[in-house]
Structure 1
């Protein structure tokens, strides 16, 4: 059985971090129904509470992740996924629907100010790891036919076939992307310390409930820490 492993190199950088994983199995993906699209629209409005500062980078959700990204090698101007969502909210470029799985985790990310992402579990090759890489891991960004390998010293999610999500939680690759025919998903949310642990648990409840209601899925929930670094997939 394959595993998800957060290795020493990750916890050397972020010893107090928590990594949550939801294994969303036997799901039925597709276009979101109108009620789920409404939840996503409302979530854009909820996210405005994280944007009280005049300067975008001074907002706490943005600033803490920018500091985190200074601790490892990144592609130029790589930003945490939650920053990308909040920038769209700030500029009025509404985060719109993609498919039900993506709409659910984007809604949670916007509402709780925590980065979220998901991959097709059935497309993993071997174990999935969150690790600082030696560089050279194959990576094709969504919509690109150009290989952009990882850097030495980059933090990313990877399996035996290459990088899955670059620069921590910046960008997913097309090999494992969530599609309408995805049946089993690996969904992750990360916090850097316990300050947002309550919000994390609320976000996991939110995703779990919507996944059961709109995806008809079985959901298995885990939180990894420095003391508990791996789970079976």
Structure 2
């Protein structure tokens, strides 16, 4: 059975981290998001403003925690955690808008709880999935880009036997494992680096599981991993 394994090299950098996972099985693609889900995403854009109280965007605590985390490992120049991009859009005139039902659900969760959320097609993994500090050279093809951009030595990434799945924690997803219209089983992951926000992590995971059940008829299973429980059967 395929496993998700968080390597010791990750825990050495982030010993207090919690990694939340929602496994969505046998979900039903429904085409475009219904208006109620579009409205939920719009509401989430507004809710995100509670985390943006500092005059300078980068001074907000939810931004600083990930910027400081990215200084602990090798990153591609300009890499920023996905939550930063979402919150910046919610604050400006390019609010996060509908893409497809599953993406809308996890973007809504990300905005509501100011946590980075990523999702991959579970059936595309080759061998076990690792969250690890890599030696570099893992093949990676960005969504919409045909050029290989391999990982850097010392980078934190999600990877399987065929290459990188997502780079620099939850920064960029690859084309090979992206969520598609035909996806039936999804791996959704949230990285929490502030242990005092574990209630927010659990709320975000439950939100994703409930919305995926309501809108996509998905079977959702939620797990929170830490350094003492770092492996999950997928």
TM-score, normalized by the shorter chain, greater than 0.5: yes
Verify: 1:208 aligned to 2:191, yes or no: no
More displaced stretch, 157-166 vs 88-97: 88-97
Deviation at 1:193, TM superposition (A): 3.0
Q: RMSD between aligned alpha carbons?
A: 0.7
Partner of 1:72: 73
Alpha-carbon displacement from aligned partner over 1:28-85 (angstroms, at most 9, x marks no partner): 1232111111100110010011111111110010011000000000000100010010
Deviation at 1:208, TM superposition (A): 1.0
Verify: 1:156 aligned to 2:154, yes or no: no
Deviation at 1:87, TM superposition (A): 1.0
Q: CA separation in 1, counterparts of 2:149 and 2:96?
A: 26
Verify: 1:147 aligned to 2:148, yes or no: yes
SS in 2 for 1:130: strand
SS in 2 for 1:213: helix
Q: CA separation in 1, counterparts of 2:107 and 2:5?
A: 24
Counting only pairs closer than 5 Å after superposition, residues 54-93 of structure 1 correspond to structure 2 as: 54-93=55-94
Partner of 1:168: 169
Deviation at 1:183, TM superposition (A): 0.2
Partner of 1:127: 128
Deviation at 1:226, TM superposition (A): 0.6
Q: Number of aligned residue pairs: give it.
A: 233
> Please, what TM-score do these two structures have when normalized by structure 2?
0.98
SS in 1 for 2:64: helix
Q: Structure 2 unaligned segments of length 5 or more: list them.
A: none
Verify: 1:196 aligned to 2:185, yes or no: no
Partner of 1:15: 15
Q: Structure 1 unaligned segments of length 5 or more: list them.
A: none
Structure 1: which 4+ aligned runs deviate by more than 6 Å?
Answer: none
